[in-house]
Amino acid sequence: MEISICEDRRNDLMRIRIADNGRGMDEAVLRKATDPFFTTRQVRRVGLGLSLFEQAARAAGGSLKIESQPGAGTAVTASFQHSHIDRKPLGNMAETLLALILTHPEIEFAYTHQDDGEKVSLDTREISSPLASVPMSSPEAISAVRKSLEKVGEQARQRASRKEA
| C-alpha torsion angle, residues 94, 103, 110, 136 (rounded to 10) | 100
Which residues 6+ apart lie within 8 Å of 140 measured at CB?
131, 134
Q: Who wins on pLDDT, 21 or 150?
A: 21
Give the CATH number, domain containing residue 77: 3.30.565.10
How many domains does the chain contain in total? 2
Kindly report which listed range (16-20, 42-46, 126-130, 136-140) carries the lowest average pLDDT score.
42-46
Residues 73 and 107 in one domain: no
Residues 119 and 59 in one domain: no
Residues 76 and 102 in one domain: no
Q: Of 60, 89, 118, which residue is a domain's last?
A: 89
pTM above 0.75, yes or no: yes
What tens digit of pLDDT does each residue of 42-92 get?
776 566 789 999 999 999 999 999 999 999 999 999 999 999 999 999 988
Give, for 147, the enclosing helix (H) or strand (E).
Answer: helix 139-164
Residues 8 and 85 in one domain: yes
Residues 123 and 78 in one domain: no
Residues 52 and 123 in one domain: no
Q: The domain containing residue 128 runs over which residues?
A: 91-165
